[in-house]
Amino acid sequence: MGEATVVLGIESSCDETAAALVTGGRRIIAQRIASQEAAHAPYGGVVPEIAARAHAEKLAPLIEAVFADAGMALGDCDAVAATAGPGLIGGVMVGLVTAKALAMAGDKPLIAINHLEGHALSPRLGDPDLEFPYVLLLVSGGHCQILRVEGVGRYTRLATTIDDALGEAFDKTAKILGLGYPGGPQVEKLATQGDPAAVPLPRPLLGSREPHFSFAGLKSAVLRAAESGEYARADIAASFQQAAIDCICDRLSVAFEIIDEVSALVVAGGVAANRAVRGALEQVAASHGLRFVAPPLELCTDNAAMIAWAGIERLRLGASDPLDIAARPRWPLDPDAEPVRGAGYKA
Ligand code: KG4
Ligand code: ZN
């Protein structure tokens, strides 16, 4: 499936409204993202009802703008792909119902995309040499998992978090330090001015035999360090980031004991935009003789190009979905994965 194939992608599962046109030749013809950061900032987090309303207002003009940018129309597309879950259900419904309407009006196949699969396949959009199977560290605001990616739609989950996701830990640390929302990029920025060894912080589950994650204890320790008044904020940010990185590297090294025959270590999801995290993972990959692949920074956080690309990957396999397909608030990549003790809805 080459340059001639064009898919429209739509993303609306959290607080970014996004649309993109991507070709089977891995070219992003046009893409636009409307962030709702300003609308949610006063509340220190995403308010689902505000998000759903904003998606409903912004999505149609955004799609129109993407077509205008590309000098194309719906008739030029081969399929319409939209996030159908997991995520905030009101927003997901706005995107999915819009995609259904376009698919019906243009007589195009509808492709319902798992948002997590969008992240999981996003590194293949930027890297034509990335072949299956690969090991994926998926680190976003709602998820922290290690997966073996066997192929499109084929995932084996090796580890997950038993409490907070990594992006959530960054966001909570940002809140404790009085930084704005979303916190990840701000913690990263402040950390560059701090000493990663200044604050003694725990590394939860370090050395544990199973490769699962836990970040709740780390967050509590950050809160205690901040309340003690003993440490500079930049030192807390840097020490938190270092503790989180140590946890990821340790958990991956345990996972690698049970993983074989993979071509690369791949990172995806919002936290993959963190340069310190990327640098540490590059070393982990090198020590296991693997290639390291990360999407370009702008494709790490939520976007529609990755949804369009996942649509292309599925279209290539002949997939399309019925117009009555439902939006799903929860949709694990590996439905057969065993529940982990202590894990909540994020499993
Ligand atoms: O994938 P994403 O955009 O949305 C979800 O599907 O959750 O991930 C958002 C998460 C947020 O928790 C955000 O703070 C975090 O990714 N994030 C970062 C960075 N950029 C985004 N965390 C650490 N460093 C960053 N540079
Ligand atoms: Zn995401």
- Render each residue's pLDDT in the chain as its tens digit; 347 residues: 799 999 999 999 999 999 999 999 999 999 999 999 889 988 888 999 999 999 999 999 999 999 999 999 999 999 999 999 999 999 999 999 999 999 999 999 999 999 999 999 999 999 999 999 999 999 999 999 999 999 999 999 999 999 999 999 999 999 999 998 789 999 999 999 999 999 999 999 999 999 999 999 999 999 999 999 999 999 999 999 999 999 999 999 999 998 888 989 999 999 999 999 999 999 999 999 999 999 999 999 999 999 999 999 999 999 999 999 999 999 999 999 988 866 554 44
Which of 281, 266, 290, 285 lies closest to 126 in space, CA to CA?
Answer: 266
Amino acid 1: pLDDT = 78
Phi, psi of 48 (to 5 degrees): -55, -40
Q: Residues 6 or more apart from 41 whose CB is under 8 A from it?
A: 180, 181
Amino acid 65: pLDDT = 98
Q: Which residues surround ligand 2, an ion (CB under 5 A)?
A: 140, 302
For a ligand 1 pocket test, name from 115, 122, 140 the mutation site with the most ligand atoms within 8 angstroms of its C-beta: 140
Closest ligand 1 atom number to CA of residue 140: 8
Task: Tell me how far the alpha carbon of residue 304 lies from the centroid of ligand 1, in angstroms.
Answer: 15
Amino acid 203: pLDDT = 98
User: Distances in Å between the alpha carbon of 347 and those of 103, 158, 160, 339?
Assistant: 32, 11, 6, 7
pTM as predicted: 0.96
* Rounded Cα–Cα distance for residues 271 and 275 (Å): 9
Determine whether the shortest distance from the Cβ of 171 to ligand 1 is under 6 A.
yes
Task: Tell me how far the alpha carbon of residue 170 lies from the centroid of ligand 1, in angstroms.
Answer: 8
What does the block give as tokens for 15? 């607080």
Task: Tell me how far the alpha carbon of residue 81 lies from the centroid of ligand 1, in angstroms.
Answer: 23
**Which residue, judged by its Cα, is nearest atom 10 of ligand 1?**
141
Question: Cα dihedral angle (62, 67, 70, 71), rounded to 10 degrees?
Answer: -140
8 A C-beta contact, residue 63 and residue 45:
no
Task: Tell me how far the alpha carbon of residue 141 lies from the centroid of ligand 1, in angstroms.
Answer: 5
Task: Tell me how far the alpha carbon of residue 168 lies from the centroid of ligand 1, in angstroms.
Answer: 8
Which of 347, 345, 289 lies closest to 89 in space, CA to CA?
Answer: 345
Amino acid 342: pLDDT = 65
At which residue do the structure tokens 């994020």 appear?
346
Closest ligand 1 atom number to CA of residue 116: 6
* Rounded Cα–Cα distance for residues 266 and 246 (Å): 17
Task: Tell me how far the alpha carbon of residue 142 lies from the centroid of ligand 1, in angstroms.
Answer: 9
Determine whether the shortest distance from the Cβ of 271 to ligand 1 is under 6 A.
yes
Q: Is residue 116 within a helix (H) or strand (E), and if so which, with residue range?
A: helix 115-126
Determine whether the shortest distance from the Cβ of 310 to ligand 1 is under 6 A.
no
Closest ligand 1 atom number to CA of residue 269: 1
For a ligand 1 pocket test, name from 170, 189, 242, 307 the mutation site with the most ligand atoms within 8 angstroms of its C-beta: 170
* Rounded Cα–Cα distance for residues 330 and 321 (Å): 18
Closest ligand 1 atom number to CA of residue 165: 12
* Rounded Cα–Cα distance for residues 18 and 15 (Å): 10
* Rounded Cα–Cα distance for residues 11 and 55 (Å): 9
Amino acid at 210: E
Determine whether the shortest distance from the Cβ of 91 to ligand 1 is under 6 A.
no
Angle CA 150–10–109, to nearest 5: 75
Determine whether the shortest distance from the Cβ of 85 to ligand 1 is under 6 A.
no
User: Distances in Å between the alpha carbon of 17 and those of 34, 104, 205?
Assistant: 5, 21, 36
Closest ligand 1 atom number to CA of residue 142: 7
SS3 content of the chain, % helix, strand, coil (to 5): 45, 20, 40
